[in-house]
């Protein structure tokens, strides 16, 4: 068994990104919805950009690395929220499906494949003129894997602002929660990663958001990893009683306020 068995990949994805599927307060300009695909090694990775493509060279862009769900379909509401953060289309927004998720081909086989997918999408943003001072990486749960290595120096556009929402911390934690067994990750998976070490090597700004009742990414292990951060600015937003579905537990208004304040910091 490896960690791939614990990933909710293979959902095909309808990519039916329409306003009728959003709360009215988070509707977007449907002319600003762009579905695209990129080559990552020998696979195809599908991505969604919400915003004006011609303004990537001047806009601040939210680069979102989603959690462990079958496809981007599950995060369309999140896209709508970000498209309205600070006002309608105040920021550009990009997310993508890792290999094996949604319509993206292939299979996520480790941190290396996830890093390659990240790079394939980020390369497009770079060619469109995105620079480090206008990029905010937001990683939720599983997204902390590619985000951690990117923040630690593995990003073609250096990460200066990073939001870690309910992050995983080590492969051991993911596998023990998925299997119920206290087995080392080396016996089960090639998803070897250490977010704590990544945070030691990350020099930019960090916002960590977590709930105290998270059973998927336990707060104790996440805290140990996040507090190793040695960068320019560190902020915690901890919520008593909240679980792994943090945004749903605390509400969009509170969640948006914390993220927007950090982006504007």
112-169 pLDDT, tens digit each: 899 999 999 999 999 999 999 999 999 999 999 999 999 999 999 999 999 999 998 6
Rounded CA-CA distance 127/112 in Å is 22
More confident: 108 or 147: 147
Q: What is the length of the chain?
A: 265
| 3-41 residues labelled b (16+ CB within 10 A) or e (exposed) | beebbebebebebebeeeebeeebebeeebbeeebbebe
pLDDT at 188 over 80: no
- Give the pLDDT score at 193: 72
Domain definitions of the chain by residue range: 3-264
Name the band, by pLDDT with cuts 50, 70 and 90, for residue 7. low
Percent of the chain with pLDDT over 70: 87
Domain 3-264 -> CATH class: alpha beta
For the beta carbon of residue 115, count every other beta carbon within 10 angstroms: 18
In eight-state DSSP terms, residue 170 is: B
pLDDT at 185 over 60: no
Mean pLDDT along residues 186-198: 68
């Amino acid at each position: 068994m490896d960690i791939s068995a614990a990933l909710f990949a293979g959902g095909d994805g309808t990519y039916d990104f329409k306003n009728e599927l959003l709360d009215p307060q988070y509707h977007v300009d449907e002319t600003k919805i762009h579905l695209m695909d990129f080559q990552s090694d020998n696979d195809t990775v599908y991505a969604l950009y919400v915003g004006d493509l011609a303004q990537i060279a001047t806009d601040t862009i939210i680069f979102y690395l989603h959690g462990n769900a079958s496809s981007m379909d599950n995060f369309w509401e999140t896209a709508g929220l970000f498209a309205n953060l600070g006002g309608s289309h105040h920021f550009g927004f990009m997310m993508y499906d890792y290999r094996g998720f949604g319509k993206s081909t292939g299979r996520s086989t480790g941190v290396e494949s996830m890093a390659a997918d990240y790079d394939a999408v980020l390369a497009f943003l770079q060619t469109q003129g995105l620079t480090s001072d206008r990029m905010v990486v937001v990683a939720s749960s599983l997204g902390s894997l590619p985000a951690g290595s990117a923040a630690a120096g593995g990003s073609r556009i250096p990460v200066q602002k990073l939001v870690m929402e309910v992050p995983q911390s080590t492969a051991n934690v993911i596998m023990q929660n998925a299997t119920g067994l206290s087995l080392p990750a080396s016996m089960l998976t090639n998803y070897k990663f250490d977010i704590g070490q990544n945070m030691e090597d990350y020099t930019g700004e960090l916002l960590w958001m977590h709930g105290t009742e998270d059973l998927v990414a336990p707060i104790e292990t996440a805290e140990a990893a996040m507090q190793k951060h040695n960068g320019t600015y560190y902020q915690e937003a901890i919520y008593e009683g909240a679980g792994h579905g943090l945004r749903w537990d605390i509400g969009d208004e509170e969640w948006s306020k914390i993220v927007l304040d950090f982006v504007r910091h």
